[in-house]
Amino acid sequence: MSNEEGSGQELLDLIKGFRRSKVLFTACKLKVFDTLKNGAVLTAEDVAGKINASVCGTEQLLDACAALGLLERTERVGVVGYGNTELASLYLVSEGEHSLHGFVTHYNDHIWDLFTHLESAVQEGTNQFHRVSRRRADDSFKDSFYPSKEAQLQFTRAMHDLTKLGAHAVATAFDLSGFTSACDLGGCTGALAHRLVQEYPHLKVTVFDLPEIIELAPSFQPVGQQAARISFMPAGDFFKDRLPERLYILSIIHDWPDDKC
């Protein structure tokens, strides 16, 4: 292959990349990985029956997942079976300590639709919530992402999943062993706080977030003695309220323009 063809193939990969994301989203949405949890190995026909889908479509979806390293395809005495890879067992089965299922669902149900309108977003210089829901272009992030209790829970679960994934790296990026208290601004369900108290035996962490988020937090708490060192402050809106003097921030600033940060 010439260099020219090589770079062309890389570009082709970028052009076609969105199909890989959607294959993963669809398999999660149709509960393929849940169907194959605990080491189950099933045929395409069996999976199709369990997820209530066509056999030919299911077979193509399973083969695409296998090509992406999400499923393992095995053939024994002429029968093709599919099972979760380690990656899928760890992250894609919906129940599980490290599950990213909520994050995948959020990306499939909301972010895909927003990106469908990227052209208009660039032309208008606004978010596209108004094109994918009944929101207005000037509605706040909160109104757009939390239009109902159900949507609020889904978004909270997505953020919880994402935070868990990076929590260890963030908690250990700096040595915080000299501190006894910290505050996580916009700390959502306390996923990072939980990791911090695991890492630092003398640290107490306050999670600061909107009252409606703090209300959901208890159902996301892991059991353990360390949890006693985490408290939640449903005080408010970080654009309006007085903030604690010592605080850290994981990833709440990237969404806002410079003049609000």
Q: What is the DSSP string of 32-52?
A: HHHHT-TT--B-HHHHHHHHT
* 254 among known catalytic residues: yes
Cβ distance to a second copy smaller for residue 117 or 204: 117
- Distance (Å, whole) CA 75 – CA 62: 14
> Interacting stretch for a second copy, rule CB under 8 A, among 145-153, 161-169, 196-204, 220-228?
161-169
- Number of residues lying near a second copy (CB under 8 A): 62
* Site track 170-209 with a second copy (rule: CB under 8 A), x = hit: ----------------------------------------
CB 214 within 8 A of CB 234: yes
* Residue span 48-87 as binding mask against a second copy, x where in contact by CB under 8 A, dash where not: ----xxxxxxx-xx------x-----------------xx
Alpha carbons within 13 angstroms on the beta-carbon side of residue 68 total 20
Task: Count how many Cα atoms sit within 13 Å of the Cα of residue 234 in the half-sphere of its side chain.
Answer: 9
Classify strands 204-208 and 230-233 as parallel, antiparallel or unpaired.
parallel
C-alpha 215/C-alpha 212 separation (Å) is 5
Which residue from 67, 79, 98, 136 is in contact with a second copy, where contact means CB under 8 A? 98
The Cα–Cα gap between 241 and 116 comes to 36
Angle, nearest 10°, between helix axes 55-67 and 44-51?
110
> Among 36, 93, 104, 250, which residue interacts with a second copy (rule: CB under 8 A)?
104
Binding a second copy by CB under 8 A: which of 41, 80, 111, 153? 111
Residue 107 is a binding residue for a second copy (CB under 8 A): yes
Active site residues: 254
Binding-site ranges for a second copy (CB under 8 A): 1-2, 4-5, 7-12, 14-26, 29-30, 52-58, 60-61, 68, 86-87, 90-92, 98, 100, 103-104, 107, 111-112, 115-116, 118-119, 121-126, 162, 165-166, 168-169
